Structure 1
């Protein structure tokens, strides 16, 4: 089958990766980075207060109250716009609050 469309996916599927189709990772502006860093610090605090890593590994279960703690700290809505009750974090900030 001949494919004439030059996209990253078609170049991968045809075994002819065209690295010129790759774009650089988007840069995060300073205020957005600060907002994301504040949420990372908040996440680290919630995790330290509510999760015993060894117990979680042993039981395979999250501790009781963790979801309520995450909800109370705003983690279930942080990507929502502020007018919807969220923190309004950008798509660039949200992933930085995940595991490192």
Structure 2
């Protein structure tokens, strides 16, 4: 087990000026990184991409005994499709989604 939190935490929201899609969802999954899902068929959604960053070299959380794992927490996708994801332990990841 990696430790820390696992599971969905945040979704990119379709806001004016950002990436807008009725078929793609971008989500953070804490210690499982950032995930992309195709929901064009609502009866059979599928994962189309994922990035699980390496464990952080330096922890942002300085409390003793904390596991050295990623904690992807927030996600934003700009109009060009560049993904920005913040991490409680590792800082900021900038990701290009290629589909």
Q: What is the TM-score when the length of structure 2 is the normalising length?
A: 0.24
Structure richer in strand, relative to its length: 2
| Greater radius of gyration (CA) | 1
Structure richer in helix, relative to its length: 1
